[in-house]
């Protein structure tokens, strides 16, 4: 059920929605409960204050015309009972209920249970049964709020009540109290109504969210499925497949990286095939020659006086094979990090001179002039001199290889801050711009159709790049077809005082 990303996304989003709305619902439920109770208390207190104001106006007249005053009080309490949907009583200092609206003998559902808690033997002298129900308010100038069964008065109703006891003060003395009483379930009806509207909105919101999440998840998963299908096709060896995902987000970036990876794999596959073809050719040619010469010597086809000459050819072919194998092994060791550098201070200019002398034979064969342009006579670098010698020889050999007869090679060294820059420039055939990024790859040969010397294996520049990386230095190439090429690499400056002989 939860194997696909789509099902996981849907499940997570729904779980988050349910969890969020559940927390909100609980908090809202209690908040609404507190709010409606608080508003009810405020309303009952305001009603008690109004009753107190009217009571002060008519209390003085009570002695003069008690019947008229009684009628007015009953009418007043009836108005506030209806307005607040509450039981409203007027209780004197001794706890006797002097007025009640609705009347204690009315058909109100709750009053039949309340009468059981009151002493109604004398209807004109009904008194609250517990002193705690009236003593506190009679000595207070502020209202008293009670919630519950009001010391047993509402016990038989089996519901909780909100009771506000508001003192009626005349000439600074509390002479009575107005009791405004409402069943709590009646108060919570407002909360339940508001909560019901909230739950309806939640159901609608969840439904809409589910649809939106479904659509979003489908759109999110669709490109991932495309990437997965493309990966399976590419795993089967088909490197022509590309993704067409244009979204400007992480998935779009993943698709772009995926396409770059496929391009790199395609190039690597082409290089692998080319390398196999090149190595096959490099191995087949000398091995065929060696076999032919040896068989000719053994079966007598080659006369004895020619044995020495043909054995010399066999030796050269053996050396060629050995060089190819050694380069492959060296490159493998470099890439695995097995090669350890021996860092020394040495004169890079002197090392360049020695490299030119070592390559003097192939330079003079093509009548190429080599020009050295050293900023200083001596320039000390800190590196592995054997590794740097191999770099320089490879780069000069490449320059000679791709430079026509009577061409020119320029080698320069410059100091810039804490670096030494070595540049090897030729005026040869140059390199196509499309190939510049690939010349450092293993087995890549940029001279497939136009090179003068096809004896290379395409490993030289890969070895050079690995050696410079091992030194944590940079190497780059600039070239233009028909105008030549310049390879530049950097070295760390050395300490002249600590120079050692190479």
Domain 5-190 indexed as CATH 3.30.450.20:
yes
Identify the three-state secondary structure at position 39: helix
* C-alpha span between 495 and 345 (Å, rounded): 6
**CA pair distance 491, 344, nearest whole angstrom:** 12
**Cα(178)–Cα(452) distance, integer angstroms:** 117
- Within a 13 Å sphere around the CA of 36, how many CA atoms are in the beta-carbon half? 19
Distances (CA, A) of 332 to 328, 335, 339: 6, 5, 10
Spell out the domain ranges in the chain: 5-190, 250-336, 344-498
- In CATH, what number does 344-498 get? 3.30.565.10
Interatomic CA distance for residues 41 and 163, integer angstroms: 9
Domain 250-336 has CATH 1.10.287.130: yes
Each of the 502 residues of the chain gets a pLDDT tens digit; together they read 456 666 777 778 778 877 887 888 788 777 777 777 888 889 889 998 988 888 887 766 665 556 666 788 888 888 989 988 899 999 999 989 988 898 888 888 888 888 888 866 666 788 888 899 999 999 888 899 999 889 888 888 888 889 999 999 888 888 899 999 998 877 677 777 777 877 888 788 878 877 877 777 777 777 777 777 877 877 777 777 777 676 667 777 777 787 888 778 777 777 677 667 766 766 776 788 788 888 888 888 888 888 888 788 788 778 777 777 777 677 667 766 667 788 999 999 999 999 999 899 889 999 999 998 999 989 999 999 988 998 999 999 989 988 988 899 999 999 988 899 999 999 988 888 888 878 877 666 665 433 445 455 567 888 888 888 888 999 999 998 888 999 999 999 987 655 444 4
- Say if residues 354 and 389 touch (Cβ distance below 8 Å): yes
Q: Which two tokens stand for residue 343?
A: 């860092």
Residues 29, 33: Cα–Cα separation, whole Å: 6
Q: Using CA atoms, how far apart are residues 334 and 469, in angstroms rounded to an integer?
A: 10
DSSP of 328-375, one letter per residue?
HHHHHHHHHT------EEEEHHHHHHHHHHHTHHHHHHTT-EEEEEES
Q: What are the tokens at 1?
A: 């059920």
Length of the chain: 502
CA distance 106 to 51: 22
CA distances from 499 to 126, 378, 383, 384, 496 (A): 119, 11, 11, 13, 5
d(CA 254, CA 223): 10
State the pTM of this model: 0.45
Residue whose token pair is 């002398």: 357
Which residue bears the tokens 């790049």?
465
Collapsed DSSP state (helix, strand, coil) of residue 90? strand
Q: Rounded distance, CA 90 to CA 113, Å?
A: 19
CB 224 within 8 A of CB 5: yes
Residues in Cβ contact with 327 at an 8 Å cutoff, skipping those fewer than 6 apart: 457, 459, 460, 463
Separation of alpha carbons 80 and 181, rounded Å: 11
In DSSP terms, which residues pair with 488 in a beta bridge? 423, 476
Backbone angles phi, psi at 164, to 5 degrees: -115, 120
């Amino acid at each position: 059920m939860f194997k696909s990303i789509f099902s996981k996304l849907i499940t997570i989003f729904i779980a988050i929605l349910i969890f969020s709305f559940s927390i909100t619902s609980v908090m809202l439920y209690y908040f609404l409960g507190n709010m409606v109770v608080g508003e009810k208390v405020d309303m009952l207190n305001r009603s008690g204050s109004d009753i107190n104001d009217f009571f002060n106006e008519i209390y003085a007249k009570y002695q003069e015309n008690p019947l008229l005053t009684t009628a007015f009080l009953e009418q007043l309490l009836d108005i506030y009972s209806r307005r607040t949907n509450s039981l409203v009583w007027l209780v004197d200092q001794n706890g006797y209920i002097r007025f009640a609206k609705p009347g204690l003998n009315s058909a109100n559902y709750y009053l039949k249970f309340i009468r059981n808690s009151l002493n109604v033997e004398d209807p004109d002298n009904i008194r609250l049964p517990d002193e705690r129900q009236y003593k506190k308010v009679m000595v207070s100038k502020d209202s008293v709020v009670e919630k519950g069964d009001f010391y047993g008065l509402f016990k038989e109703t089996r519901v909780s009540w909100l009771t506000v006891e508001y003192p009626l003060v005349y000439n600074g003395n509390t002479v009575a109290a107005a009791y405004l009483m409402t069943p709590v379930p009646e108060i919570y009806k407002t909360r339940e109504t508001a909560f019901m509207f909230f739950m309806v909105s939640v159901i609608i919101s969840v439904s809409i969210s589910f649809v939106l999440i479904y659509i979003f998840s489908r759109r999110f998963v669709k490109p991932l499925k495309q990437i997965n299908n493309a990966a399976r096709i590419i795993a089967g060896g088909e490197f022509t497949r590309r993704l067409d995902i244009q979204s400007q987000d992480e998935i779009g970036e993943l698709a772009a990286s995926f396409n770059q990876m496929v391009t790199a794999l395609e190039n690597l596959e082409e290089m692998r095939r080319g390398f196999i073809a090149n190595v096959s050719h490099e191995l087949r040619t000398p091995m065929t020659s060696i076999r032919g010469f040896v068989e000719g010597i053994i079966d007598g086809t080659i006369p004895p006086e020619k044995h020495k000459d043909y054995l010399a050819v066999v030796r050269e072919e053996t050396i060629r094979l050995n060089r190819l194998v050694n380069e492959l092994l060296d490159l493998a060791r470099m890439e695995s990090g097995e090669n350890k550098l021996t860092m020394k201070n040495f004169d890079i200019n002197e090392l360049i001179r020695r490299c030119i002398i070592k390559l003097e034979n192939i330079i003079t064969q093509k009548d190429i002039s080599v020009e050295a342009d050293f900023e200083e006579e001596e320039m000390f670098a800190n590196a592995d001199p054997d590794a740097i010698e191999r770099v320089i020889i490879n780069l000069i050999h490449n320059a000679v290889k791709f430079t026509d007869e009577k061409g020119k090679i320029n080698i320069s060294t410059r100091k810039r801050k804490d670096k030494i820059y070595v540049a090897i420039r030729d005026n040869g055939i140059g390199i196509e711009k499309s190939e510049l990024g690939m010349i450092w790859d293993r087995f890549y040969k940029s001279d497939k159709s136009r090179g003068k010397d096809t004896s290379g294996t395409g490993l030289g520049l890969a070895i050079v790049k690995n050696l410079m990386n091992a030194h944590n230095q940079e190497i780059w190439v600039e070239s233009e077809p028909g105008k030549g090429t310049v390879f530049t690499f950097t070295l760390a400056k050395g300490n002249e005082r600590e120079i050692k002989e190479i």
